[in-house]
Structure 1
Amino acid sequence: MKAVFKAGAALAVLAMVVPADARSGGEHHAEVADGTTASDEAAKAEALAEAMRAAELWIEGQRQFRKIPAISAAVARGDETVWAQGFGTTDRAKTKPATPDTIYSICSISKLFTAIALMQQWEQGKVALDAPISEYLPWATLADDPRESVPVTLRGALTHSAGLPREADFPYWTGPDFPFPSQDQIRAKIASQVPLYPASTTWQYSNLGLTLVGETVEAVSGQPFADYVTANILDPLGLDDTRPGIPTGLYGGQMAVGWGALEPDGSRPQVALFDPAGITPAAGFSASVADLAKFAGWTLRLARSGEAEVLRASTLREMQRVHYVSPDWETSWGLGFAVRQEGGTTIVSHGGSCPGYRSALMIAPKEEMGVAVAMNAMDDPGTVARGIAALVKARGEAKPFDPVEGVSLSDYAGVYGGQPWGADYMIIPWAGGLTWLSPDANEPAKGMWRLRPLGEDRFRVVTDKGDERHEVVFERDRAGNVQAVRQHSNASPRLRGL
């Protein structure tokens, strides 16, 4: 099943462009190879550190408010992972901490590996994208359909435009047992399935379609699908925690256990582990976010270097360009990748949603950035991915305030009381001043007002539009510790530090 998310232009600023006036005075600074200065690099590092610290605080808040047992997330920049973190716990006893190496079912992100496997066969001249799938899989012929249609092709399957049924005709999304069919069962049943639409007329997401792509890889390579993907994609890329299947021996250990949707009483039911069996090419892989970030880094490295590595760079470009646009122009798809442009930034992505797990991977090729999120509950990883990107964007765009002698911003950082009007909130250092962070907000960077230091525990509110507003004063106790913040004559207590 799928999860589509919209990062918008947030990823475009993940490159952490630092305004020129963030540099110190008129001093001369040595330039590095790309023309930036050492102070530029230091400012970028500081900005990224503040953004990721805000992301950590916000994600943990989201996890608690949404009662998500575990979330893991990672950010890639170029071919390096620049940040990765785990939140919450992964076992039934809720004692094992989540990490970037925690393994989750990544469900439909599996389709990216299957698409890459097929494109390797395409590079070798073993398949043609516009040939009928039945040319490679003689048994993959659906029931007669009186509607006129062009053939069902591999390109159609990769772009979800082949008119195929969404699923093989089995109830494998039905709990509590999730009875996934075997390869033999899928092959025996497909002849009785009727196309949903004539090919190339309607976008219809199809797990059956990508299952057939995986079957094609197996047929033309002469190897079992899992063996082929492991030997030709996962091993060469060093994705040691990614598998075409579920590692049952690691379940409850390195692999997180799954939980269901949130109940009215705030609980989540346990979800039994499933075996994706014959649907593995479409929805059966498992991985860590550390590996997903490494995968994102590989795509960025391949695009930048132009040197063949698992795929040719030109093949990856072909996969990441739009091959199908729906008639309403709302959905655009590459070969395996969802492709969309927002705010001038092209985002290639995929999401995953399987019983007990959800995940998201989004990549901005031009900006050379990627974000991976996985969780062991039926919630929205896209919200987390968008929030991470938005916080980095906001920090990258923030013009730093001039320092004020004697002001230590860390003195004011903490959790402040918001009751009864709202949830408790955080005040954090941000671009030479402070800012508010709401852990319960779905969009943590929306309307991000700031506090410019004036000295003597006084700050000036600056709106997200740059307008200066009222003064805010922090109050200290006799020991000199900040104990409250006061604005408009009303005080909010500082409950704890960060």
Structure 2
Amino acid sequence: MKKFALALTLVASCIAVHPQDDKTNYDEALTLIEVWLDAQKDFEDIPGISASIVEDQKLLWSGGVGLANQETQKPFTGATLCSICSISKLFTSVAIMKLYDEGKLRLDDRLSDLLPYYDLKQQFPESGPITIRTLLTHSSGLPREAGYPYWTGPDFPFPTTAEIDAKLSEQESLYPASTYFQYSNLALTLLGEIVAEVSGVPYETYIQQHILNPLQLSQTRPEMPKDLYGSDLAIGYSAIGREGEREKVAFFQANGIAPAAGFSSNVTDLGKFASWQFRLREGKTAEILKPATLKYMQSVHWTNPNWKTTWGLGFRVYKGPNGTTWAGHGGSCPGYRSSFEMDLKNKRAYSVMINSSGTNPMKYVMGMHAILSKMSAKDDSVKPEAAITSKDLSQYVGYYNPKPWSSEEYIGTWNGDLVMLNLPADKPAEAMTKFRHIEGDTFRRVRDNGELGETLTFERNAAGAITRYIQHGNYTLRINR
């Protein structure tokens, strides 16, 4: 795979947008995030990754690494479109709750009352009713899928709405309603049909007019734009095979399953979607939804009997790594993985899109969050007597080769110190080591308690360029990347 070139001293301008934050300068953390994403893309043999980070109403960063189309070498950027698959469910959920706000339906309305043609067999006579609420929380007991093999390649034969409805009578419930969490694309598909039935306009029209247009989400669609496939819309690739290959996945259109899995978007638009939610949660007036309604959606409405799965109204709601409430959703469709996650208290959101299956976008969400949190947290390792060096640290920035012991190291700057990041790293914040300037080309490791540890000394060639460093009596060469 062709390497994504990083100009180390200008990494931000190469692949990303960095609007300046008024409170904390995140530039060094964002540079480290870009380096980390680029390395992970190569080490995991991923075609392309895009990501964005939003803090309340500000886009802190948006960028991409790798390729949207391997045949044409089309770069993957923050503007690249992908299938967002199950993140589509959030737009369907917002549409349902807008109709709720308008008094056109209630959360305890029965599915069978809203869709007169609904005739899926309830095999548990003791079951409670299947309602809007149980559909939104995946506790309805409905099957996971409609009665077609649409996740089967190579053609992915997604049914139309009419075809889905025609086979309802051949399906039956899996559990009594309100008994277990059972993730269901069929449930959210039927909610999309309810949007159309109650509003009196096609589902796609309602979403466009009442959600996408007001929020100016111009790159979000309730479909996959076939005319943009391979250019603005990334080509999807398969999970990696035993021989290390990823195959091109055929283009698909979710058709009648669109309310559950059919949308396309990019990380920049999802950032706008997050900013709207942060704005609305703090507001006093309605903007598509009432503020109280969105907060209600992002509260826990279902806890599974094992206490491990919690869900809101459409949103996955859970305790995040900092102990605060997070809300969001992931997506997995043929050739694409995505994740959209919001730290509601700190008003920070992360979006990740990958154009290959068998990958883990949530790892990148949490990795970015951990790096930024490390930058914004109080740094106990900085002693009051520790002066910030006047040394030009940029001359040490670059990649180093520790083989055979590990794959690669990147040395960058971090709050007046150097930071070494071991690559690849599933948890990048835990793979960072800081070094403080002592004199000349000598640094010392900064321990977690702020004490200084072993030395790291850089060496130069006759022209004065850094060529390697010595640590614990052994050498590590600098490399070009």
TM range (shorter): over 0.9
Equivalent position of 2:53 in the other structure: 75
Counterpart position of 1:370:
349
User: Is 1:176 aligned to 2:154, yes or no?
Assistant: yes
Q: Does 1:287 align with 2:271?
A: no
Indicate the residue corresponding to 2:102 in structure 1. 124
Structure 2 residue aligned with 1:318: 296
- Kindly state the Cα deviation for residue 43 of structure 1 after the two structures are TM-superposed: 7.1
2:452 partner amino acid: E
- State the distance in 2 between where 1:183 and 1:404 align: 64
Contact kept in structure 1, 2:389 and 2:416, CA below 8 Å: no
Aligned partner letter, 1:294: K
> Match for 1:384 among 364, 373, 376?
364
CA distance in 1, matches of 2:259, 2:449: 48
- Residue type of the alignment partner of 2:216: G
- AA aligned to 2:281 is A
Show the counterpart of 1:217: 195
Render the CA deviation track for 1:206-237: whole Å, top value 9, x for unaligned. Answer: 00000011110000000000010000000000
Residue 312 of structure 1 aligns with an amino acid whose one-letter code is: K
2: CA distance, partners of 1:165 / 1:139: 17
Using the aligned pairs only, state the percent identity. Answer: 43
How big is the shift at 1:290?
A: 0.5
On the 8 A contact 2:47/2:70 being kept in 1, the answer is no
SS in 1 for 2:314: coil
Give the deviation of 1:395 after TM superposition.
Answer: 1.7
Which residue identity is paired with 1:348? A
Match of 2:233 among 237, 255, 263: 255
Structure 2 Cα separation of the partners of residues 453 and 427 of structure 1: 13
For residues 281-430 of structure 1, what are the structure 2 equivalents within 5 Å?
A: 281-342=259-320, 343-378=322-357, 379-397=359-377, 399=379, 401=382, 402-430=386-414
Aligned pairs (5 A) from 1:49-64: 49-64=27-42
What does the per-residue CA deviation read over 1:157-195, in whole Å, with 9 as the maximum and x for residues that have no partner?
A: 100011110000110000000011110111011122111
Structure 2 residues without counterparts, runs of 5 or longer: 1-20
Aligned to 1:115: 93
Q: Structure 1 residues 465, 357: CA separation in 2 closer, same or farther (over 3 Å shift)?
A: farther
CA contact (8 A) 1:349 1:363 kept: yes
SS at match of 1:392: helix
* Contact 2:388–2:416 under 8 Å retained in 1: no
Q: Which moved more, 1:345-354 or 1:144-153?
A: 144-153
Instruction: Provide the residue aligned with 2:463 in structure 1.
Output: 479
Indicate the residue corresponding to 2:10 in structure 1: none
Secondary structure of the residue aligned to 2:214 is helix
Structure 1's 128 and 404: CA in aligned 2 closer, same or farther, altered over 3 A? closer
Please tell me whether the aligned partners of residues 433 and 446 of structure 2 are also in contact (alpha carbons under 8 angstroms): yes
Size of the alignment, in residue pairs?
A: 456
Give the partner amino acid of 2:277: T
Counterpart position of 1:8: none
TM-score between the two structures when normalised by the length of structure 1? 0.89
Cα distance, 1:467 vs structure 2 = 4.2
How far residue 394 of structure 1 moved from its aligned partner, in angstroms, is 1.4
SS at match of 2:186: helix
Q: Following the alignment from structure 2 to structure 1, what is the Cα–Cα distance between the partners of residues 127 and 432?
A: 52
Q: CA deviation at 1:141?
A: 2.8
TM-score when normalising by structure 2: 0.92
Deviations for 1:430-479, whole angstroms, at most 9, x for unmatched residues? 12111111231111111532101112111111233444321111111122
Amino acid at match of 1:395: M
> Per the alignment, in what secondary structure is the counterpart of residue 138 of structure 2?
coil
Distance (Å, rounded) in 2 between the aligned partners of 1:404 and 1:167: 59
Deviation per CA, 1:9-67, whole angstroms, max 9, x where unpaired?
Answer: xxxxxxxxxxxxxxxxxxxxxxxxxxxxxxxx77711xx11111000000000111111
What is the CA–CA distance in structure 1 between the aligned matches of 2:300 and 2:226, rounded to whole Å? Answer: 37
The structural deviation recorded for 1:397 is 2.3
Q: Secondary structure at the match of 1:271?
A: coil
Q: Is 2:421–2:431's contact at 8 Å kept on the other side of the alignment?
A: no
* Partner SS state of residue 56, structure 1: helix
**Quick one: structure 1 residues 311 and 405, their matched pair in 2 at CA, closer, same or farther if it must change by over 3 Å?**
closer
User: 475-484 vs 400-409, which deviates more?
Assistant: 400-409
Distance 1:405 1:206 in 2: 57
Show CA shifts across 1:371-421 (max 9, x none): 000010011111111111111111222627544554111111110011111
d(CA) in 2 for partners of 1:54, 1:113: 32
1:65-110: CA deviation from partner (whole Å, max 9, x where unpaired): 1111111100111122111001111114141111111110000000
- Distance between the aligned counterparts of 1:180 and 1:241, measured in 2? 23
| 1:80/1:294 contact within 8 Å kept | no
Counterpart-to-counterpart distance in 2, 1:203 and 1:397: 36
What SS does the corresponding residue of 1:198 show, helix, strand or coil? Answer: coil
2:460–2:468 contact (8 Å) kept in structure 1: yes
Aligned AA for 1:371? Y
CA distance in 1, matches of 2:76, 2:394: 27
1:429 counterpart letter in structure 2: T
| Distance change (3 Å), C-alpha of 1:197 and 1:54 | same
Aligned to 1:9: none
After TM superposition, the structure 1 stretch with the greater mean CA deviation from structure 2, 89-98 or 387-396, is 89-98
CA separation in 2, counterparts of 1:388 and 1:64?
17
The secondary structure found in structure 2 opposite 1:371 is: strand
Structure 1, unaligned runs of 5 or more: 1-40
Shift of residue 132, structure 1, vs aligned partner: 0.9
Q: Secondary structure at the match of 2:342?
A: strand
The residue that corresponds to 1:141 in the other structure is 119
Counterpart-to-counterpart distance in 2, 1:213 and 1:438: 46
With 260-269 and 394-403 compared, the bigger mean Cα shift is at: 394-403
Greater CA drift, 352-361 or 417-426: 417-426
State the 4+ residue runs in structure 1 displaced beyond 6 angstroms: none
What is the rounded CA distance, in whole Å, between the counterparts of 2:406 and 2:23 in structure 1? 34
In structure 2, which of residues 54, 71, 81 is the aligned counterpart of residue 103 of structure 1? 81
Q: Distance in 1 between matches of 2:231 and 2:138?
A: 36
Question: Does 262-271 or 320-329 show the bigger shift?
Answer: 262-271
Instruction: Give deviations 1:324-350, integer Å, cap 9, x for gaps.
Output: 100111010001100001342111010
User: Does 1:443 pair with 2:427?
Assistant: yes
